[in-house]
Amino acid sequence: MMLDDACAWFDLDAEDTAEVIVAAAQIAADDALSARVAEVVRQLGDHFEELKLWNLLELPSLFDPVVDRDASAAVRWLYVVAFAEFLPTTLAAHARRGIPEATSRATIADLGRHVRIARRLYGVRACIEQHWLQAHLRGILYDLGRLQFNLARLELDQRQLDEAGIDATPGTVVVETHIPEAGPLAADAVDASFAQAQSFFGAHFPELGTIRYATCDSWLLDPQLSDIVPGSNIARFGARYRLFRTARESDQSALDFVFRAPTTPREQLPRDTRLQRGLLDHLAARGHIDARYGWLEVPAGASDR
């Protein structure tokens, strides 16, 4: 696959693509950077379709987008060059599993979405979400409409599972739910995504059996949202899940998701929407937002074929 073809799959614009091509030439001329790309490709292959999202690949940040304004193209785009080299392996596996090309394209295009988010956040053209994006290349995460789902195994102990009321055991295969930046979290669009999940993974990963449960680990599941933005799409989304007892403070994650302005002082953030106002007022009153981990039963749905 040509590099510009891979960039098209990644949904990069013409300027990003031109920089990636420059980066690839710089990397090819540097033994240390070439070895780093080869190591990323090796790790992707070694952990392909392994049902664990994080802490598998060593993908260190190569520059700080806030302070390293003059980082070379090779540094800013190294992970895209590595992902492009591995992409044919990912797409070949998709084809073997009969995954529709439209689903493959929507899934892989998430890279471009995060490149554009980074540009809004920091004003740089770069890939800085390599830990997240490796899941797409490893063949465990798929875009199914409004939501994304990745294959995983429950890592809680039996006591925690029993307390949460889920009929499962440690190691049970589930799909983890993710909410990309893709417009309103409308209930009908969410319903449609969940309706696809069981049949999609049943058709294309039959060796895993029927997947009964979806999980989600996010501040969007904080029950306080029903008071902060009552009746909102976000509050209704979180209410779908039954919660495990795990919780952690997640103020900054919520602010980053809502405002995409990590370097802006809180008092200068906009108050244009009900969510923006509600979140800022809640935090100003010394409240906190908690990331919660929850589960729901995946409905049976029609085949994606």
Q: Express each pLDDT in 72-121 by its tens digit.
A: 999 999 999 999 999 999 999 999 999 999 999 999 999 999 999 999 99
Distinct helix (H) and strand (E) counts, the chain: 13, 6
> How confident is the model over 253-277, as pLDDT tens digits?
999 999 998 889 999 999 999 999 9
pLDDT band at 301 (very low <50, low <70, confident <90, very high): low
- For the stretch 229-237, contacts whose Cβ atoms lie closer than 8 Å and that sit 24 or more positions apart, written own/partner, are 229/274, 229/275, 229/278, 232/274, 232/275, 233/184, 233/185, 233/186, 233/187, 234/185, 234/275, 236/187, 237/179, 237/185, 237/187, 237/190
pLDDT of the residue at 305: 46
Contact 267, 284 (CB under 8 A): no
At residue 177, the pLDDT reads 98
Percent of the chain with pLDDT over 70: 98
Domains, in order of start, for the chain: 1-139 (no CATH), 141-305 (3.40.630.120)
Give the pLDDT mean for 201-230.
97
